Amino acid sequence: MIKLINLTKLYRGLRAVDRINLKIEKGVCFGFLGPNGAGKTTTIRMMAGVLKPTEGQIIINGHDLSKEPSAAKQCVGFIPDRPFMYEKLTGLEFLHFVAGLYGLDSASMLDRRIGDLLGLFELKHWEEELIESYSHGMKQRLIMCAALIHQPKVLIVDEPMVGLDPKGARLVKNIFREQAAKGTTLFMSTHSLEVAEEVCEEIAIIQEGRIIARGTAGELREQAGMDGNLEDIFLRLTQGEG
Ligand SMILES: Nc1ncnc2c1ncn2[C@@H]1O[C@H](COP(=O)(O)OP(=O)(O)OP(=O)(O)O)[C@@H](O)[C@H]1O
Ligand SMILES: [Mg+2]
């Protein structure tokens, strides 16, 4: 469960995120859309605990992120838009390193978990290779393994599909849906309305830091007062066009 209450971030007078209120139930896959510079990454970085809100509250599975940061962060897997990885490590070494950060010990349970994740993301074949030799899509899939290593109840992802080929995108979409079916709450930003419609039960559109629309893809169509394709609906909602 994720709850954002009056969440606000000011950058020298600029209201990058402006009093956002959202409640996302357990097991829901939630899509966060909006034009460039709307405030998606800023919101996500606050939710992941890497950026401090100017005002407002973030509740993750009942834990207030500012009051119980470790308990809240333990529930979260975070996949940033520009992840940092130690590229001189192999995929396997990197996952063991991340497991260590979460205090998971390297017993056989962990080896199995890492093996399962590498299999799931089709990286098993490259586990002994240095990350610097991975393609963009492989790095993207490895960072997803790392974010899932501690079996988080909430997965927060900033533009997961960027740079993935159709096969990789399909794989990731399926994994996200499976995670949600298992009760993981998913919050993902994307520019692709098709992806949002395919994967997410609920969508919110943010513009200039504010939520301007929220609902299922069907409800957004209604709100835009048009049938058409999702791109037109998005433009109508964000620019009054169409
Ligand atoms: N560190 C920062 N200092 C000052 N302003 C910032 C900073 N980070 C973001 N901003 C501003 O905050 C606003 C929201 O940016 P943000 O990165 O959250 O947008 P976004 O919705 O993720 O956009 P995109 O779709 O391009 O990724 C923008 O106007 C941006 O210039
Ligand atoms: Mg962004």
- Shared domain for 70 and 10, answered yes or no, is yes
Candidate from 7, 12, 17, 42 with most ligand 1 atoms within 8 A of CB, to mutate: 42
- Shared domain for 20 and 107, answered yes or no, is no
What is the atom index within ligand 1 of the atom nearest the CA of 45? 18
Q: What is the pLDDT of residue 228?
A: 66
Contact 3, 59 (CB under 8 A): yes
Q: Does the beta carbon of 38 sit less than 6 angstroms from any atom of ligand 1?
A: yes
- Shared domain for 19 and 122, answered yes or no, is no
Count of domains forming the chain:
2
How far, in Å, CA of 198 to CA of 203, rounded?
Answer: 11
CA angle 84, 87, 88 (to 5 degrees): 145
- Shared domain for 172 and 204, answered yes or no, is yes
State the 10-residue block means of pLDDT for the chain, 242 residues long. Answer: 98 96 97 95 97 97 96 94 92 94 80 94 96 95 95 95 91 94 96 88 95 90 74 78 54
- Shared domain for 42 and 89, answered yes or no, is no
Q: What is the pLDDT of residue 241?
A: 59
| 96: containing domain | 83-151
- Shared domain for 193 and 122, answered yes or no, is no
What is the atom index within ligand 1 of the atom nearest the CA of 35? 25
Measure Cα distances from 79 to 44, 216, 221 in Å: 10, 24, 29
- Shared domain for 163 and 192, answered yes or no, is yes
CATH number at residue 223: 3.40.50.300
Last residue of a domain, one of 117, 136, 151: 151
- Shared domain for 163 and 239, answered yes or no, is yes
pTM: 0.93
